[in-house]
C-alpha cells in the first residue's frame, strides 16, 4: 500500500502485476511490429512507389529472420515437450499456432498489395513484370541462348532416387522441385534444381543483348521463371511433367559454448558453417504444388504440415530490394545529404571542437562523418597515443576500421573489441578482426557469455604535457551506411568523469578487471535494470511530494518483466509515462487501475527509429540517459551495454524537444490500445510527421547539432 500522487493520506491498492492479462506475448508483439512495417507498403500515400516495394522486401526479410531465430526456438521447446507458459500465459504450442494464423494473413495482405496494386501501378510508370509464357517466340529464342550462356553453367540438377538421396537444401534457398518422365522407360523421376543466389533474382530484360522491345520501358523477369521454362536443357531425353518452386527457412541461431572454445574466432566460423544445416522451420510453396510433391518435401525435409506455408506468386519477396537499383528517382524518396555541423563550425578540427564543448549529433539528420573524421584525425595525429573502440556491426568496406588500421601502422596503440557474436554479421566481423590483427592491433572478443553491444570510443591525446581523453558515446553502430537510415545519437565529449568510467569499462573488457562501480555510466550486466527501476521508483516518490511526475523512454523493445512492473507501479501512483517503442512491447497501456497513465507509441517511417533515450523529470532536476541498451533481459543480463548521462541542461532540453515532437507525431505514429493492439494515430490537429520535420529543420538550418560549452 502506497500513497497516491497529490494525496497525503490516500493509499493505492496495487493489483497483482503478475497477472498474464497485463502482458503481450513477446513473439506476437514482434509480429504486430512487422505488421506496422507492412502497413508502410499497404498504404498508397505512405511513400513513393518503389519505397513501398522496399517495405515489402523489409517485411519479408524481417519475417525470415523471425522464423530463423524465434520460431525455431519455439519449435525446439514444442518438440521437447516443454509446456511452460510465457508471462502472458501461452504455451510454446499455442504461440506457434497463433504465429501461423497471423503469418498466413500477413502473407495474404502482402501478396494482394504487391500483385493487385503495386504491379499495375509499376506498369503505369514503365516498370513491368513479365512472365516467360507471354513473350514472343523470337524473344524466347534470345532468352534461351542467354540461359545457355549465362545461367546453365552454374546450375546443378540433383536427382532423387535409390542411388541419389534427397539433397541438402540450404537455408533461404529457392528451389525447383521437378517431376520428369524418362522417354525410354516412361518411369517418373524426381529432381531438385537450386536457383543460384550468385545471380540477380530479378532479370532486366531490357538490358539483355538482342532483346529490343522498341521502347524505354523496364521489363523484369523472375530468374526461376526463366530456369523453369528451360529445364529441358538440363534434362535431355526427359519430359518435364511438372515443376514447382519451394523455399526453405532453417534454424539459424548459433549456440556457442565459449568455455569449451579454445579459439572463439574459429568456433564462430564453424558455427556459421553449421548454421546452414539447422533444422527446417518453414517451407514456402505455391498453391499449384500437388499433394504428392508436398509429401515428398515434408518427408525429406523432416517437417510437419504446420511448417508449410502456401502462397501465390513468387516466393522470397525479400529479393524485391533489387528493384531499388532501378533509376526512377520520381518513385523514390527525395535524396537527403546530411550536414556536417562540425565542418561548418570549426573547419572539421574535431579535437578543437570537442575541447571547446560537448557535441550531440542526431543521425541521420546530422552526418555521421564527424565520427569517422574523429577516428581518421586520431589515426594521423602525432599527439594521439592510443585509441580504444568497440565494434558490433560496422558493415563492409568500413572507413572506421580502415582508420584504425592506419592508426596502428602510424605507431598508435590500438585496442579493439570486435563482437564476433553479432548475429548475421559474424563473417564481416571475423574478416575485420583478422585484418586488424594482421596490422598489429590488440583485438579482443569480449567477456565470456556476454555480447558486447556498447558503442564506445576512447582516444588518449597528449596536450601541453598532459594527457587528455576524447570520447565518442553512441546509441548506434560504427557503420556510416546504416547511419544514413537509422536514427541514433552520437555524443562527443572530454568529460573526465565519463572518461574515467569508459577507461574502467575498457579495462574490464580487455583485461581481468572486475570493476563494477561506475560514477556516471550505467552498465549492463552490472546495474542497468537496477538503476532504471531505481529512477522509476524515485519518480514515484517525487510525484507523491510534488506531482508532475514524468517519464519518457524511447527504445526498440520493452520486454523485461521487472521493469514493466515498476512502470505499472508508477502509473498506479499517477506518474505520466510516455513510451516510444519501435518494436516489441510486452506492457499494455490503458488498463483500468493498472496502466491508465501510460501511453505507448511506435513510429514507423522512412528512417528506422533506433536511438534509445531514458528521461526522468526528477522533481524538476531533469535526468536523461542515452545509450545502446533496450529494456530486454538479453540487454540487461547477457550483454555489455552502456547508458551515458547528458548533464548539460540545454542539451537535455534539445532531446526533450525531439522526444516531444515524436510523441506528437500523427502521421507515422501507431498507438497501442488497452487490448494490446495498435491503431494509427489520427486526429484533427495539424499534421506532424516527426521525421519529415527533422529533415526540414536540417535542410533549412544546415544543422540541428546543438553545441554547448562543457560545464561538467
Q: Which of 363, 453, 543, 610 is an active site residue?
A: 453
Cis peptide before 422 (omega within 30 of 0): no
> Residue 532 contacts by C-beta under 8 Å, 6 or more apart in sequence?
522, 563, 566, 614, 631
The Cα–Cα gap between 223 and 158 comes to 19
- Classify 564 as helix, strand or coil: helix
| Neighbouring-strand partners of residue 393 | none
Query: Residue 440's closest CA among 409, 473, 461, 463?
Result: 409
- Per the listing, cell 570493476 goes with 515
> Residue 12 contacts by C-beta under 8 Å, 6 or more apart in sequence?
1, 2, 3, 4, 572, 573
User: Contact, 473 vs 493, CB < 8 A?
Assistant: yes
User: Length of the chain in residues, anyone?
Assistant: 712
Residue 453: active-site member: yes
The Cα–Cα gap between 685 and 313 comes to 41
The H or E element spanning position 319 is: none
Strands (E), 154-290: 158-160, 174-182, 188-194, 202-204, 218-222, 238-250, 280-285
- Per the listing, cell 583478422 goes with 434
The Cα–Cα gap between 566 and 466 comes to 45
CA atoms within 13 A on the CB side of 639: 25
Q: DSSP states of 615-667 as a string?
A: EE-GGGS-EEEEES--BSHHHHHSEEEEEEE---HHHHHHHHHHHHHHHT--S
The Cα–Cα gap between 352 and 347 comes to 10
In angstroms, the Cα distances linking 426 to 85, 228, 392, 401, 418 are 32, 34, 9, 15, 10
Kindly list the catalytic residues: 453
Amino acid at each position: 500500500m502506497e500513497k497516491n500522487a497529490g494525496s497525503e493520506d490516500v493509499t493505492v491498492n496495487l493489483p497483482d502485476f503478475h497477472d498474464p492479462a497485463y502482458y503481450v506475448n513477446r513473439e506476437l508483439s514482434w509480429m504486430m511490429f512487422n505488421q506496422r512495417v507492412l502497413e508502410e507498403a499497404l498504404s498508397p500515400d505512405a511513400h513513393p512507389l518503389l519505397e513501398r516495394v522496399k517495405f515489402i522486401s523489409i517485411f519479408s526479410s524481417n519475417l525470415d529472420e523471425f522464423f530463423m531465430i524465434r520460431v525455431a526456438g519455439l519449435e525446439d521447446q514444442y518438440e521437447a515437450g516443454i509446456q511452460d507458459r510465457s508471462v502472458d500465459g501461452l504455451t510454446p504450442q499455442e504461440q506457434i499456432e497463433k504465429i501461423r494464423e497471423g503469418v498466413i494473413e500477413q502473407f495474404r495482405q502482402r501478396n494482394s498489395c504487391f500483385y493487385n496494386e503495386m504491379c499495375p501501378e509499376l506498369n503505369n510508370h514503365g516498370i513491368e513484370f513479365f512472365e516467360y509464357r507471354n513473350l514472343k517466340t523470337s524473344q524466347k529464342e534470345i532468352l534461351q541462348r542467354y540461359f545457355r550462356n549465362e545461367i546453365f553453367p552454374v546450375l546443378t540438377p540433383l536427382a532423387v532416387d535409390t542411388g541419389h538421396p534427397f539433397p541438402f537444401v540450404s537455408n533461404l534457398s529457392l528451389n525447383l522441385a521437378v517431376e520428369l518422365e524418362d522417354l525410354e522407360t516412361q518411369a517418373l523421376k524426381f529432381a531438385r534444381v537450386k536457383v543460384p543466389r550468385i545471380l540477380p533474382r530479378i532479370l532486366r530484360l531490357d538490358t539483355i543483348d538482342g532483346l529490343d522491345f522498341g521502347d524505354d520501358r523496364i521489363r523484369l523477369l523472375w530468374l526461376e521463371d526463366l530456369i523453369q521454362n528451360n529445364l529441358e536443357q538440363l534434362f535431355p531425353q526427359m519430359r518435364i511433367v511438372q515443376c514447382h518452386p519451394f523455399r526453405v527457412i532453417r534454424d539459424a541461431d548459433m549456440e556457442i559454448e565459449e568455455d569449451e572454445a579454445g579459439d572463439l574466432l574459429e568456433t564462430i566460423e564453424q558455427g556459421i558453417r553449421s548454421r546452414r544445416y539447422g533444422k527446417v522451420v518453414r517451407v514456402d510453396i505455391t498453391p499449384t504444388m500437388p499433394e504428392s510433391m508436398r509429401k515428398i518435401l515434408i518427408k525429406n525435409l523432416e517437417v510437419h504440415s504446420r511448417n508449410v506455408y502456401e502462397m501465390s506468386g513468387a516466393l522470397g519477396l525479400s529479393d524485391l530490394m533489387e528493384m531499388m537499383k532501378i533509376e526512377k528517382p520520381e518513385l523514390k524518396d527525395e535524396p537527403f545529404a546530411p550536414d556536417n555541423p562540425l565542418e561548418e563550425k570549426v573547419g572539421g578540427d574535431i579535437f578543437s571542437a570537442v575541447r571547446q564543448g560537448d557535441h550531440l549529433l542526431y543521425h541521420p539528420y546530422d552526418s555521421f562523418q564527424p565520427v569517422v573524421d574523429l577516428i581518421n584525425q586520431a589515426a594521423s595525429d602525432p599527439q594521439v597515443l592510443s585509441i580504444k573502440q568497440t565494434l558490433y556491426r560496422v558493415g563492409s568496406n568500413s572507413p572506421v576500421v580502415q582508420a584504425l588500421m592506419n592508426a596502428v601502422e602510424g605507431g598508435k596503440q590500438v585496442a579493439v573489441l570486435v563482437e564476433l557474436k553479432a548475429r548475421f554479421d559474424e563473417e564481416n566481423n571475423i574478416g575485420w578482426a583478422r585484418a586488424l590483427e594482421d596490422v598489429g592491433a590488440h583485438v579482443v572478443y569480449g567477456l565470456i557469455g556476454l555480447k558486447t553491444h556498447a558503442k564506445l570510443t576512447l582516444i588518449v591525446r597528449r596536450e601541453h604535457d598532459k594527457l587528455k581523453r576524447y570520447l565518442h558515446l553512441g546509441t548506434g553502430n560504427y557503420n556510416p551506411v546504416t547511419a544514413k537510415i537509422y536514427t541514433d545519437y552520437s555524443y562527443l565529449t572530454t568529460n573526465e568523469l565519463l572518461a574515467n568510467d569508459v577507461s574502467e569499462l575498457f579495462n574490464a573488457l580487455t583485461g581481468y578487471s572486475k570493476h563494477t562501480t561506475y560514477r556516471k555510466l550505467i552498465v549492463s550486466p552490472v546495474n542497468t535494470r537496477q538503476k532504471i527501476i531505481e529512477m522509476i521508483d524515485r519518480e514515484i516518490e517525487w510525484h507523491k511530494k510534488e506531482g508532475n511526475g514524468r517519464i519518457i523512454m524511447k527504445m526498440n523493445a520493452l520486454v523485461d518483466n521487472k521493469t514493466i512492473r515498476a512502470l505499472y507501479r508508477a502509473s498506479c501512483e499517477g506518474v505520466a509515462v510516455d513510451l516510444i517503442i519501435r518494436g516489441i512491447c510486452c506492457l499494455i497501456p490503458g488498463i483500468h487501475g493498472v496502466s491508465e497513465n501510460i501511453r505507448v507509441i511506435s513510429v514507423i517511417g522512412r528512417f528506422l527509429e533506433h536511438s534509445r533515450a531514458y528521461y526522468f523529470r526528477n522533481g524538476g532536476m531533469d535526468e536523461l540517459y542515452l545509450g545502446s541498451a533496450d529494456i530486454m533481459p538479453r540487454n540487461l543480463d547477457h550483454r555489455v551495454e552502456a547508458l551515458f548521462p547528458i548533464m548539460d541542461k540545454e542539451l537535455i532540453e534539445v532531446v526533450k524537444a525531439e522526444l516531444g515532437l515524436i510523441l506528437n507525431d500523427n502521421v507515422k505514429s501507431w498507438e497501442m490500445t488497452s487490448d494490446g493492439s495498435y491503431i494509427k494515430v489520427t486526429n484533427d490537429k495539424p499534421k506532424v510527421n516527426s521525421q519529415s520535420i527533422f529533415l526540414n529543420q536540417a535542410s533549412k538550418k544546415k544543422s540541428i547539432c546543438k553545441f554547448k560549452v562543457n560545464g561538467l
